[in-house]
Copies of this chain bind each other. A is one copy, B any other.
Amino acid sequence: MSETKDKIVELADHLLRVKGFNGFSYKDISDPLSLKNAAIHYHFPAKADLGVEVIDHELTKFAGQTKRWQSLPEDEQLEKLIGVFRKHCQDKNICLMGSLASDFETLSPEMRVKVQELGKRILAWLTGCLEQGRHNKRLHFKGEASDRALMIMTNLQSSLLMSRVLGPQVFNSISTQLMKDLKK
């Protein structure tokens, strides 16, 4: 993959998180990279192709991160995940899932499938982490692990949304309370 192509994906990722899929244009990418819009179309014929690539990139990144965390105790793995969100919060980014879920109805079929895949992957990992964590007595919660995973994911997702509106202390409150609840 060319250097330019990497830069386009990286910038598109940022724009997606900040302005949403319908809130940025090829100009927002071509200008900062000193390219013409046709150069982006060369690498990504349609905007949806660029969207798919950004999600694929995120999918790969998430797989790598969780693999690196896998030898840690489950509560620390969760802390790592929260750390990823904290970083986004500092950058005034929202998470990809949150951004793309908002625009879901306006996305192409190919992008929708990728967004669904991203959601399923995150939930699958979280569910596994919670299950293992409860078994190892490092995490404590009631009900099904999959339901709890859903709640934690939505807490983190919207914590970034609300932090942008009401300030970063929203993220701190939520992430702190979240870990307190799980550590009992």
Contact = CB atoms under 8 A, between A and B. Distances in A.
Interface of A: 18-20, 22-23, 92, 94, 97-99, 101-106, 112, 115-116, 119-120, 123, 142-144, 146-148, 150-151, 153-155, 157-159, 161-162, 164-166, 170, 173-174, 176-178, 180-181
B105 A18 contact: yes
Contacts of A178: 151
B150 A101 contact: no
A76 to B, nearest CB: 22
Contact of A143 (B112, B161, B180): B180
A174 B154 contact: yes
B162 A23 contact: no
A101 B180 contact: no
A142 B160 CA distance: 23
B103 A161 contact: no
A101 B162 contact: yes
Nearest to A167: B116
14 contacts: A20-B103, A22-B23, A101-B164, A101-B165, A104-B165, A116-B165, A119-B165, A143-B177, A143-B180, A150-B170, A151-B155, A154-B155, A154-B158, A154-B174
